[in-house]
Amino acid sequence: MGKTTTRRISTNVKYGLAIHTTSSELGLAVSNFAENLWGRFPSTEFFKREGDSRSQVWDLGRSLSTHLHYHLAEYIQPQTWADLGFIAVAKGPGSFTSTRVGVVTARTLAQQLDIPLFAISSLEVLAWAEKGGDNAIAVQMPAQTNLVYTAIYSGATALLSDSLMTMEVWEKTLENWQTPYQLIKGENGIGATVTSVLEIAYLAWQKGDRPNWIDAIPFYGQSPVS
């Protein structure tokens, strides 16, 4: 009989990098997960290196697409690209141009470095950042006139998938929702939720997920010319 071998997926990660560009704000976060990540994760004996978790947000407006790479190159220091174990990016919905720039940048880096890329819904990120206890989190973000991006999450589980709908349909959906929920409106300060992008990705990494960069697809929700 042949010998049975079990392949274990290592959960040892060097650094994780998160990029959030779905609004006019650029959010970046880096961590080696060696200690509490913004007070969320317990430290473990598994990680022996000194803790290093940091995040920063720039309100760049229309210059986000031209300044992203400059800020990214500056921010990664003193680490190098070789120190990264995975990348996470907010995939939208949000601004068409900003979202595209962020996802394309993340895909290019992950491909060149040959590391996993986690593409995380920006609505999921908003829900995760709020933490609703036992209640579901209903999230809405403004889109075009009388339209909103919507979703309902419980933790990282989508109870209602990311969608684009009219305010009337959304309000009716919430009116008919059968379980308790908390409503969150994502309008300002979205870039700061980049820490939640990194948290969600890290938890998935710990479970053994290793998504390929080619599967990271932006969610625009609507055509930029519609």
The single residue listed with the structure tokens 């995760």 is: 128
Domains of the chain by start residue, with CATH: 15-122+188-215 (3.30.420.40), 124-185 (3.30.420.200)
| Res. 224: pLDDT tops 80 | no
* pTM, to two decimals: 0.84
Helix or strand or coil: residue 150? Answer: strand
Measure the CA–CA gap between 79 and 87, rounded to whole angstroms. Answer: 14
pLDDT in tens, 72-102: 999 999 999 999 999 999 999 988 889 999 9
Tokens 């040959």 map to which residue? 114
Per DSSP, the residues of 113-137 read HT--EEEE-HHHHHHHHH--TTSEE
Rounded (10°) CA dihedral 122, 127, 129, 134 = -160
DSSP string across 24-85: SEEEEEEE--SS-STT-S---TT--SPP-EEEEEEE-GGGHHHHHHHHHHHHTTTS-GGGEE
CB 184 within 8 A of CB 127: yes
pLDDT in tens, 126-176: 999 887 567 899 999 998 788 999 999 998 889 999 999 999 999 999 999
Q: What is the mean pLDDT of the chain?
A: 85
